[in-house]
A and B are shown apart, each in its own frame.
Chain A
């Protein structure tokens, strides 16, 4: 039976679905055309290439069209579409509508396809003789990506998941048998509050641009093997690889900043599998960039360079498999749940792994792999070693992150390390030490052959200066307890000194070398900043006042990191005197005003600031979502979030059967009053002003026979006067009364009877029980020292990447 549903807007969805099909068709056409353009014997025949260009641009246009349709649907709250219903709501600010695109898998695939479309179109402009072969690879990837949002079942297999599926198609519920079901759906599920943060508006697009741009160096590497231009691809691919590394790095750090500013796990990096999945390809491509440069200048490390560039994109696909297949469910807090597209993702992954593998095998004998060893005192040798160390460090991250994958493949039941952060740190600090050291001394090495004497003199000087500086730093930031920390600090300072030396050359005119020096300095600063902030952060809200819950608990000597604050009662916390001053609500957030003061021995206030950590209270779900607030100083941050607050009750209590509203009050007290009387209650008194013989009641028409009497009351409480008029009504034979609540005074007042023989009125006073609870919050506060080194180092590193991109793209033009 077909039901004619009312109120649905089917056009935008149909149009969007059409655009998706069009984009797939166009990318298939682009793939075929570019393939034939590449393999054509007659190189002067440009007809295939022309078709390929048109098809690829059409594909981009169609992807943009599909995105526009999706935006239209979300913007206009068309909840007949599952995507809009699941990821948005009417109350969502327009600014965050764009975030709905990446809350769901379909939207994030769309974003990826969009970036790949844009990047491909730029490659068409720039690639010249590489266009056909490179675009064949990119078009193939685009075919895979666009089918991810197709959402069609073919022979029982679901291909992709469309963002344009209707709610009634996506789910089953009895209401869909009603033609007017839409009028019953008042609102969508809404956007996850954690995503309602401005960093979440720019972090995902940056990250996806980074992931998407990794296809370009990959495509160049594959095209180089395919076209037997084994070595030529490195030069034009280098700026692209640097671009990908820069953007992906920026995206990762933005995510880290979001976690620090908006999430309450108390840090900027937690080695969560989702974080690992994004940093692994970043590290492998950084390694790749270094050996690409080594090959360009020395002819060594060809295979390593090609392999690392290829594997980086394969790892991007592996990362999306990990985060999107639901396989991480037990180990990560923020992976997607499965959409049943695992097989499709695996085919994508397999295709982009097998194609380069086959090309490697076929061309193995002809690859320009040198048989000769590099000189130990040559730059290319240490670039190669550095790349290998980076790659091995990735293997370590990958090995532990993939534990759920082993469990799935081998049916084992291994749990990840109980202390994951410790597990990763112990390896990665060692790797970071080696990498930072190499990035330091290799600056004094030259390609091919170095003057060994000069090298040792320069290195020796930096080494000694670094030892002195390290001693000072270690003393100042107090990390002398751990040898690995000291070594890492030393290596980072050493790297900064060596690269600073190169940078000073740049000021003498060798500008083109500055990019790498700046990036290395930034990286070393980032390492020191991360190390000090992570190793030495100090929970300042330590609580030693807990009352015993048994000896076993006390003996265990657990860190007691949360502290309770009562309103207006200053609590001593480390050197701070902290006071909870009250809360205010704005939109969905409740902000808790917390004052920090530092009072020195002489009684003077040396520091005084307020922080406003907030929590989204969701009374219906009985949960809070807390976001921190941070006081930034140059040398440290004070980071604060509430970890528990009293839940606000829902505002509207409906009377359930068997539960009357009166249960919220103490036993009522009946008073017999006349005008002018005063009735006392705990918090104040009630003045009976007058009697209104012609009271009116909303919604109830009164006839001449009905009697409605109102009692004009003045309630004096909290230094304020509230007016209330409870009403007594005789309608026919029935006596009814309409009570009035004065919530501010915790009162409910009823005019329950008229006593004509006494000439008095019966006033029943309900009073809420005395609240013995004080307002409180439970709070956690952490001091992060020197975290600005981390953020500052990141910015410097990105600037270094930009300088390098300029240098390398200039080289392409000059060639």
Chain B
């Protein structure tokens, strides 16, 4: 057998390995209900529930942040993140959580937020100059 064919076969084998590994390592986007079922790590896309309390109290614990999220299926769940509360968290429009269920709480290892960033939003800030001065 020619050396080039052996090399070719090795490359194909590695390429298959790469594809399998990509697929095996890849996660899925799911909902809280699915997270309860699988117990595996997955991505949950949802929105912050602003009506419920967010807890971040660095004086008590600088690495504990809890909040509530409504996933895209509408299910509400408490989320715990071991870390610092991202400062503009309230303004997020969408949250992608990576993590898993533990008990009835979702423990997130990563939070990716979509924010209407000041630097991408197309909203003009108008400053109106008022004619009358205040006394």
B42 surroundings in chain A (CB, below 8 A):
415, 418
- Mask of B54-73 contacts with A, CB within 8 angstroms, 1/0: 00101111111010000000
Residue B107 interfacial (CB < 8 Å): yes
> Is the CB of A392 closer than 8 A to any CB of chain B?
yes
Q: Which of A619-648 contact B (CB under 8 A)?
A: 621-624, 643-644, 647
Q: Which residues of A contact B85 (CB under 8 A)?
A: 644
CA A140 – CA B36 in complex, angstroms?
55
B21 at interface, CB cutoff 8 A? yes
> Which B residues lie within 8 Å of A167 (CB)?
124
**Quick one: which of A184, A396, A564, A644 contacts B87, CB cutoff 8 A?**
A644
When distances are taken between beta carbons in the complex, the residues of chain B under 8 Å from A426 are: 21
Q: Is A399 among interface residues, defined by CB-CB distance under 8 A? A: yes
B98 pairs with A399, CB closer than 8 A: no
Q: Which chain B residues numbered 81 to 116 have a C-beta less than 8 Å away from chain A? A: 82-85, 87-88, 90-91, 96, 98, 102-103, 105, 107, 109-110, 112
A185 sits at the interface (CB 8 A): yes
B49 on the A face (CB < 8 A): no
A396 with B119, Cβ < 8 A, contacts A373-B4, A559-B82 known: no
Also in contact, A395 and B26, with CB within 8 A (given A190-B119, A776-B58): no
The complex places the Cα of A189 from the Cα of B125 at a distance, in Å, of: 8
Partner of A778, one of B84, B112, B122: B84
Within 8 A of B (CB), among A649-680: none
Q: Is A423 an interface residue (CB 8 A)?
A: yes
B15 beta carbon closer than 8 Å to chain A: yes
Q: Which of B2, B58, B66, B103 contacts A564 (CB 8 A)?
A: B58
Residues on A with beta carbons closer than 8 Å to the beta carbon of B3: 373-374, 376, 381
A388 near B103 with CB under 8 A, answer: no
* Size category of the binding interface on chain B: 35 or more
Cα distance A702–B22 in the bound complex, in angstroms: 81
CB contacts under 8 Å to B, within A320-342, are: 330, 333, 337
Say whether A699 contacts B124, CB under 8 Å. no
The CA-CA distance from A366 to B82 in the complex, in Å, is 63
- Give the nearest-CB partner of A738 in chain B: B135
Among the listed stretches A197-205, A489-497, A543-551, which one makes contact with chain B, having 4 or more residues with CB under 8 Å of it?
Answer: A543-551
State whether A643 touches B64 (Cβ < 8 A): no
B83 touches A562 (CB 8 A): yes
Q: Determine which of A376, A553, A559 lies in contact with B64 in the assembled complex, contact meaning CB atoms within 8 Å.
A: A553
Q: How many A-B residue pairs have CB under 8 A?
A: 163
The 0/1 profile, CB within 8 Å of B marked 1, for residues 406-449 of chain A is 00000001111111000100110000000000000000000000
- The reply to whether B124 and A543 form a contact with Cβ atoms under 8 Å apart is no
> Does A561 have its Cβ within 8 Å of any Cβ on chain B?
yes
- In the assembled complex, A361 has its CB within 8 A of some CB on chain B: no
Question: Which of B63, B84, B96, B103 contacts A552 (CB under 8 A)?
Answer: B103
Shortest Cβ distance from residue A304 to the other chain B in the assembled complex, whole angstroms: 11
Closest chain A residue to B14, Cβ basis:
A392
Asked if A560 is at the interface of the complex by the 8 Å CB criterion, the answer is yes
Q: Is the CB of A623 within 8 A of B87?
A: yes
**Separation in Å of the A743 CB from the closest CB of chain B?**
20
Verify A427–B21 contact, CB threshold 8 A.
yes
Q: Is the CB of B7 within 8 A of A385?
A: yes
* Residue ID in chain A nearest B109 by CB atoms: A418
Tell me if A175 is interfacial: C-beta within 8 Å of chain B: yes
| Residue in A171, A191, A622 whose beta carbon sits within 8 Å of that of B122 in the complex | A171
A186 at interface (Cβ–Cβ under 8 A)? yes
CB contacts (< 8 Å) of B107 on chain A: these are: 556, 558
A559 to B64, CA, bound (A): 11
Closest to B61 in A: A546
A780 to B120 Cα, complex, angstroms? 29
Bound CA–CA A615/B14 (angstroms): 45
Which chain A residues in 523-565 approach chain B with CB under 8 Å?
543, 546-547, 549, 552-553, 556, 558-564
- List, sorted by A's number, 9 A–B pairs whose CB atoms are closer than 8 Å: A103-B119, A175-B124, A392-B11, A400-B26, A427-B21, A564-B62, A644-B85, A644-B87, A778-B62
